Amino acid sequence: MNLQTLQTDLGLLFSGFTHASANGTLFLLVLALLVACAFEFINGFHDTANSVATVIYTRSLKPWTAVFWSGICNFIGVFIGGISVAMGIVKLLPADVLSSHSSTLSLIAVFSMLLSSCIWNLGTWYFGIPASSSHALIGGILGVGVGHAVSSGNSISSGINWTKTSEIGLSLLISPLLGFLLAALGLILLKALTRNSNRLHSPQLPGKTPPIPIRLALIGTSTGVSLAHGSNDGQKGVGLMMMILIALLPAQFSLNPSVGSEKIEQALLAAQQIEVKVAALSGEARDSNGFLIRNAHADAIRALPEKAKKAVETSLLLSTQIQEDLKGVTTTSDVSEEKRLRLHSNIVQLESGLSTLERSGYALPDTKKSRKALFSLIEYAPFWVIVLIAISLGFGTMIGWRRVVETIGEKIGTSELTYAQGAVAQSVAMSMIGVSALVGVPVSTTHCLSSGVAGTMIGAGSSVRGSTIKTILMAWVLTLPVTLGLSAGTYLLLRALIHS
């Protein structure tokens, strides 16, 4: 982050607020941003227990010291996590939802997904149930897509970005199972390596703090979980903010303002290369200069299966429009306001079309680099957005931790949590969350740690409380369908009220 980039970000923010004020949507824009911050604030105190449960329960740190330190680490984590998870969240929403030129519909979409997520998070927190904020947010986003598809007269499946949804869904499904297994194996290994350390594997003594080495290990792994949580979950808030800004202020935020002539040229070449690859599937011919001869092999296109044929036709059209919009452009600021959202939407929809072809069995070799070059035009987050989310998550972390701490520390296993179990569970959660942030997929901090604690109980030869595990599993299973239904229902209801 340099001074020039910061000035550009602030200039766009001022321009956006001026534009919103002129169009009478400033209040709604500010409200939408505040609701996004509220989600991240709730996410902070909802998931805080995952970072501090074992360190508080083992008396390694006093509660408020642990919570304050966790808040600082969550704040820092937002800045070190990048934006790959954030962009994955943005891609969950079908492109035609963001490309709607109605600010009213955009606001309905935003409030529907946030309201459903916040209701579920607050409800599960109130009852002390370790539930996933990631599941809740993703369910809310998918619900908006479904509601939009239904209200537009399309099939429900068309409202879901299946490629990104399956990728994220798989990570959310596997992560708690992997956390359970790794924690169980980790504790068994630690017991084998530390056979003579009775204190490490014994229940804590009432009123006593652990020995210094054990205490440092617990504080260190707790710090790691807090940093990893900030880097992963903070990006979800960043993704929400970008959805709002792209939907309501496309002229200012739909394209990356820091992209220069070199990346523009790379993106233009990428669109041309993608067009060549897709055209090869349809059998279209080329002239002596290598340019496409339109409709030269229309029969070949018609011979494709219906879904693939539509994807080919759409992808060819979109790649052509992208090239037209980028010709003569040296920076993204040269793109006219009316073309900015169209360019953003076309890039997202082109990626969706290419993914459809790949799922249908049509290989598109050597396009990964080209697709990445196109996404460099739209994948970014202003520095002030990251700061705002970091503050919201950091302060949220310092509130409301006690309910879920008791569940994780006392109610998952039938025996008391030992120092070794706490350190192993936190190490596994820290590693899994950190790796997922690096590869750009969201995982549930809650499920990584709670499944890790359960795994250590089994690894220690103890057992888990069936009632608690059943409650956590029920929350795990129900979060997506409930938040999806709430979000879709809210979207349809608000849209009907607006148009009645």
Provide the H-helix boundaries in 360-444: 368-375, 383-397, 402-406, 419-439
Identify the pLDDT of residue 264: 92
Q: What does the alpha-carbon distance between residue 177 and residue 310 come to, in Å, rounded to a whole number?
A: 38
Cα separation values, 104 from 77, 98, 154, 213, 345, Å: 34, 12, 20, 57, 18
Identify the pLDDT of residue 233: 80
**Looking at per-residue confidence, does 247 or 261 come out higher?**
261
Give the model confidence (pLDDT) of 408-434 as tens digits: 555 554 556 778 888 888 888 888 888
Q: Is the pTM of this model over 0.85?
A: no
Give the model confidence (pLDDT) of 146-189 as tens digits: 888 888 777 777 667 666 677 777 777 788 888 889 988 988 88
In this predicted structure, which of 25-34, 122-131, 246-255 has the lowest mean pLDDT? Answer: 122-131
Q: Is 264 left (phi over 0), alpha (psi -120 to 50) or beta?
A: alpha
| Residues contacting residue 381 through CB under 8 Å, at least 6 positions apart | 83, 86, 238, 241, 242
Question: What is the rounded average pLDDT for all residues in the chain?
Answer: 78
Q: Please name every residue paired with 286 in a beta bridge, in sequence order, or none if there are none.
A: 292
Q: What does the alpha-carbon distance between residue 116 and residue 137 come to, in Å, rounded to a whole number?
A: 8
Residue 136 pLDDT class (50, 70, 90 cuts): confident
Identify the pLDDT of residue 271: 92
**E strand residue ranges, 219-323:** 285-286, 292-293
Q: Give me the mean pLDDT over the 223-242 stretch.
A: 85
Identify the pLDDT of residue 254: 85
What angle separates helix 445-459 from helix 419-439, to the nearest 10 degrees? 140
In this predicted structure, which of 25-29, 205-209, 385-389 has the lowest mean pLDDT? Answer: 205-209
